[in-house]
Amino acid sequence: MAKVVKDLISLELIGLHSHIGSQILPLAGFEAAAARLVTAAVMLRDEAGIVISQLGLGGGFGISYVPADQPKDIQVIADLLVSTVLRESKLNDLIVSKISVEPGRYISGPAGITLYTVGTIKPVTIAGGQTRTYVSVDGGMSDNIRTALYGAQYTVAVVSRAPTGAPMLSRVVGKHCESGDIIVRDCYLPDDLKPGDLIAVAATGAYCRSMSSQYNGTPRPPVIAVSGGLDQVWIRRETYEDLLVLDQG
């Protein structure tokens, strides 16, 4: 394909790009991918006379969704990628003038928090006679499909008051009447939780709003920015009129 592009006067191949996955916490894969991209650039130069000056090293840098996730500092990631490209380029007498990355989740993920209002609370006996309490909220797979699609894990806490109850095994579920309508599969919430409490699900800034839907005719919630004690609506709440706006007649 690179040779085809080279022969087209309307196109100029100036760079190579790689993307190895998503929500990756260990850095070894990123280092290996950067080294291989340099190798590919050297091969194109030596075998096809194509000069590659830019490398896109992709994204997929993991963030902390639960306490067990230990993401690396972005400066550590940047230093590793730059040193890898410089080292491999020097060994092969290659000049790379530009390196780019795609840290979308790393930036937006931790910045987002989803607030839900607690509705019905229902204890259910599970295997071994243990009790898991199902906590239904006023959202669900329409605003966060990641748990249903990927088995994503999240941290959740009560934020409307200081709870004093003992931890109870819980599952936060949505209002869409689907077996997969789960927001947080396994967590511990206080046993004095009650309808009307606000709970917050952390690190929802990436791939939640962008993957949200009007599932079963559900208007999407607003996006509100908060900084320095001030708030501003960035995306307003959808209305039922919005759901019907495309209807003709």
Residue 128: its pLDDT value, please?
A: 86
Quick check: 3 pLDDT over 90?
Answer: no
> Is the CB of residue 191 less than 8 Å from the CB of residue 158?
no
Domain identity same for 101 and 145: no
Quick check: 65 pLDDT over 90?
Answer: yes
**Average pLDDT for the chain:** 95
Domain identity same for 76 and 132: no
Domain identity same for 48 and 126: no
Quick check: 227 pLDDT over 90?
Answer: yes
- CB-based contacts of 191, cutoff 8 Å, min separation 6: 133, 165, 166, 167, 168
Domain identity same for 130 and 46: no
Whether 11 maps to a domain, the answer reads yes
> Is the CB of residue 138 less than 8 Å from the CB of residue 116?
yes
Read off the pLDDT band of 11 (50, 70, 90). confident
pTM: 0.89
pLDDT digits (tens, 9 = 90+) for 144-166: 999 999 999 999 999 999 999 99
Quick check: 249 pLDDT over 80?
Answer: no
Q: Give the C-alpha separation, 157 to 200, whole Å.
A: 5
3-state secondary structure of 20: coil
Q: 3-state SS string over 163-198? A: CCCCEEEEEEECCCCCCCCEEEEEEEEECCCCCCCE
* Domain final position from 91, 108, 125: 108
Range of the domain at 159: 113-241
pLDDT digits (tens, 9 = 90+) for 67-106: 999 999 999 999 999 999 999 999 999 999 999 999 999 9
pLDDT digits (tens, 9 = 90+) for 191-212: 999 999 999 999 999 999 999 9
Quick check: 15 pLDDT over 90?
Answer: yes
For 147, the enclosing helix (H) or strand (E) is helix 146-150
Give the C-alpha distances (Å, rounded to integers) separating 47 from 40, 42, 44: 10, 8, 5
pLDDT digits (tens, 9 = 90+) for 29-38: 999 999 999 9
Domain identity same for 236 and 120: yes
Which residues participate in catalysis according to the annotation?
177
Q: Give the C-alpha separation, 104 to 114, whole Å.
A: 18
Domain count, the chain: 2
* Domain final position from 108, 132, 164: 108
Bridge partners (DSSP) of residue 117 are 198
The residue-averaged pLDDT of 119-146 equals 95
